[in-house]
Amino acid sequence: MLWTQEPGFKHSLPCFDYTQQQIDLANQKISTHVGGLDLLIVDACLPDQYQQGQRVLVTNNWIAPDQLDNNRYEQFPASWYGLYSGTIQVDPTWPTKKFNCFINRMDPIRQSWFYQLIRHRLFDQGLISFNMDISRHIINGQCNPRDTPLTVFEQQFQQHLQIFQHEHNVSKTMVPYRNFNCDLPTAIMQTEFSIVLETYFDRNEVITFSEKIFRCLKLPRPWVMFAMKNAVAYLRDLGFDVLDDLVDHEYDSIEFAIERQVAILDQCQIMCQRELTTNDIKRCEQAAQHNQSLLNKLFKSFHTDVNIACQNAIKKCLT
């Protein structure tokens, strides 16, 4: 797992390091009593995907529905998200573009987002990056280590995305692409809304978040999010202000990722046709303040709750 060290998330890496220390201590206690059991932090996967037929207790730092066996699984409480607390320093500014969309990694779905922005005639209205990072392709053996991002870009088009022939012809001389020079928070402030492409979006059995959505939750601008089904609903249930009065998040309940993507793009076209008003900005500032306060509250109980979760996990391992 990698944790952001960008300004505005000063607690992120220390909190994760603290959690890993507690996991290591728990495994030391477990190993003195029982052999063959490991306590792990799982990122957007069900425990069974790691257990491989063995009785391994897995701690997951994100929500998972009722599919989980509580005898083998310990879930960190909502205070986990306190690791994303911290103030993001930005200068007040009026938007000059309609939206932002930051695409870092390469995979067919992310590449399709670049195409879709062109197809939906949104491209020229946004601050957009498509960095074409293929590091995960190389690590997972999905491409040759000698392949270039442009090679992978072409391969993904040929294998998965030929319905975007026109958009591919338009974009292949543009990529990698970035049409802004500022940092991401500044780019968000210079736009009327954000299109957030979360790290995971195709595993509806779990819900997980990264700094991507919390960056937007802490800044006074609306957003739409491409993530798992019901991810927005989960944020809402946790108490975050998701600006339902400014954004139609109906897309959140759609089962299939591609259909969800299309619905988000439809919503983006609607948002591009309206003007963000002074009152809308004030409403967004209210939401950002609320969300920041909630994250600060969650952070206050982070360390205690991690300790409790690890102690509960030890008991389950030893039962």
The Cα angle at residue 90 between residues 88 and 94, in degrees rounded to 5: 135
pLDDT of residue 315: 84
Report, as ranges of residue numbers, the positions in the chain whose pLDDT lies below 70: 1-4, 34-38, 42-69
Per-residue pLDDT tens digits for 41-66: 766 666 666 655 455 556 555 555 56
Q: Helix, strand or coil for residue 52? A: coil
Q: Which residue, among 213, 5, 192, 186, has the nearest Cα to 90 in the 3D structure?
A: 186
Q: Which residue, chain included where needed, has tokens 């573009």?
A: 97
Give 74's strand partners: 59
pLDDT of residue 3: 58
Rounded distance between C-alpha atoms, residue 18 and residue 6, angstroms: 18
pLDDT at site 146: 85
| pLDDT computed for residue 204 by the predictor | 83
For the beta carbon of residue 19, count every other beta carbon within 10 angstroms: 22
pLDDT of residue 59: 59
What pLDDT is recorded for position 136?
80
**Averaged pLDDT of the chain:** 89
What pLDDT score was predicted for residue 34?
A: 66
Rg from Cα positions in the chain: 21
Q: What is the pLDDT of residues 110-130, one digit of tens each?
A: 999 999 999 999 999 999 999
**Distance of alpha carbon 163 from alpha carbon 159, whole angstroms:** 11
**DSSP designation for 305:** H
Helices (H), the chain: 12-31, 48-51, 108-119, 135-139, 149-160, 165-171, 184-189, 211-217, 231-238, 257-272, 278-300, 302-318
Q: How many degrees, rounded to 5, is the angle at CA 294 between CA 310 and CA 303?
A: 20
Q: Residue 102 in 3-state DSSP?
A: strand
Q: At what angle do helices 149-160 and 108-119 cross, to 10 degrees?
A: 80
Q: What is the pLDDT of residues 7-39, one digit of tens each?
A: 899 999 999 899 889 988 888 888 777 665 667
**Phi and psi at residue 49, to the nearest 5°:** -70, -15
CA gap 41, 25 in Å, rounded: 13
